[in-house]
């Protein structure tokens, strides 16, 4: 077997040769991890096997010393979080290959090496800049056109912020997932990154007092103008600028965000599709919303990331020097 085969192929091979499993069962069992997780781990594993090939070492099974030497080479140009993810990929692939008890990635030597790398490089993640609530009126001033492109972009930006959507969730919204009520809009999310088991969640987006930044009205205007009844809410356009039948690519969300941030005179490289979701959480913290309320809208399962947003939102609000100025 080629050691460079896709990540967890070893696990899949065991599934494939199990004669007691039906074809349907085999297909579903291979989805134990999300596609995005497998892609990331596959790239990480391939990087390790490349390093092993250059060093003339066997990657599976490898020795703890091999992992320590690899991550120290990697740490010369990678962040601590990237190094940690690579170790996880190495560990998962050894587990999948049957080395659960003798997993070299779990060796204390590897643990100590990772601790040293974290201490040296730090673990702070420099995320993209948030699009804050105070930015929405500025966007509204630019998005006054009645053409389909402008109406779509307005709906996408305002709904992305109001629902704290991940870009993958935003482009996956279907017309059938929308329920308009007298209070606003309810968006059903069948499955997302934080909901791998597909329990689903409902996101409530109320009408905004300021019509110019109202996500519900923006979505309704886009739907009516585009004549949408079924299928994806957000779509690309044909050459004649009529909406396509297929959903927008999630990378297009970042492109749209960057486009309007540049028009505001900001550096588009500082922003991405995640800026909408991050902007909601940061703005919510600035408006003194409690952690549970923020998590209910963002669907975070852990308080750790939400607390980071709260800390960022309160950098100036809880600043000791500001309090001294006030006195």
Residues with active-site annotation: 166, 193, 274, 277, 300, 309
Dihedral sign computed on CA atoms, order 106, 111, 117, 119: positive
Contact partners, residue 208, CB within 8 Å, separation at least 6: 162, 214, 215, 216, 217
* Token pair recorded at residue 78: 């990678």
105: number of Cβ within 10 Å: 22
Contact partners, residue 25, CB within 8 Å, separation at least 6: none
Q: Using CA atoms, how far apart are residues 19 and 39, in angstroms rounded to an integer? A: 28
- Helix (H) or strand (E) holding 16, with range, is helix 9-16
Contact partners, residue 290, CB within 8 Å, separation at least 6: none
Asked if residue 61 has a cis previous peptide bond (ω within 30° of 0), the answer is yes
Q: Using CA atoms, how far apart are residues 226 and 197, in angstroms rounded to an integer? A: 33
Q: Using CA atoms, how far apart are residues 97 and 16, in angstroms rounded to an integer? A: 14
Tracing tokens 């599934």 back to the chain, one arrives at 15
β-pairing verdict for 235-237 and 201-206: unpaired
Residue 203, SS3 per DSSP: strand
Q: Using CA atoms, how far apart are residues 327 and 21, in angstroms rounded to an integer? A: 72
């Amino acid at each position: 077997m080629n050691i460079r085969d896709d990540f967890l192929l070893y696990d899949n091979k065991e599934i494939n040769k199990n004669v007691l499993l039906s074809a349907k069962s085999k297909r579903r069992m291979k989805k134990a991890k999300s596609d995005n997780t497998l892609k990331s781990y596959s790239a990480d594993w391939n990087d390790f096997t490349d390093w092993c090939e250059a060093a003339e070492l066997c990657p599976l099974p490898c020795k703890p010393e091999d992992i320590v030497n690899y991550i120290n080479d990697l740490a010369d140009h990678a962040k601590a979080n990237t190094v940690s993810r690579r170790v996880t990929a190495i560990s998962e692939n050894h587990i999948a290959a049957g080395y659960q008890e003798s997993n070299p990635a779990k060796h204390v030597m590897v643990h100590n090496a990772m601790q040293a790398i974290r201490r040296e490089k730090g673990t702070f993640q420099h995320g993209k800049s948030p699009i804050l609530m105070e930015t929405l009126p500025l966007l509204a001033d630019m998005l006054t056109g009645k053409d389909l492109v402008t109406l779509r972009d307005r709906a996408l930006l305002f709904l992305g912020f109001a629902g704290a959507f991940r870009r993958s969730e935003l482009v996956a919204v279907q017309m059938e997932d929308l329920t308009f009520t007298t209070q606003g809009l309810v968006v059903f999310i069948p499955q997302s990154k934080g909901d791998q088991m597909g329990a689903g969640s409902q996101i409530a987006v109320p009408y905004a007092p300021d019509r110019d930044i109202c996500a519900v009205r923006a979505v309704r205007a886009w739907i009516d103008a585009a004549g949408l009844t079924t299928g994806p809410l957000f779509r690309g356009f044909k050459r004649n600028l009529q909406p396509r039948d297929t959903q927008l690519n999630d990378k297009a969300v970042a492109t749209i965000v960057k486009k309007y941030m540049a028009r505001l005179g900001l550096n588009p490289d500082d922003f991405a599709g995640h800026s909408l979701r991050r902007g909601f959480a940061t703005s919510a913290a600035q408006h003194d919303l409690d952690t549970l309320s923020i998590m209910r809208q963002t669907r975070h399962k852990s308080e750790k990331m939400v607390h980071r947003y709260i800390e960022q939102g309160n950098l100036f609000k809880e600043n000791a020097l500001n309090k001294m100025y006030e006195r």
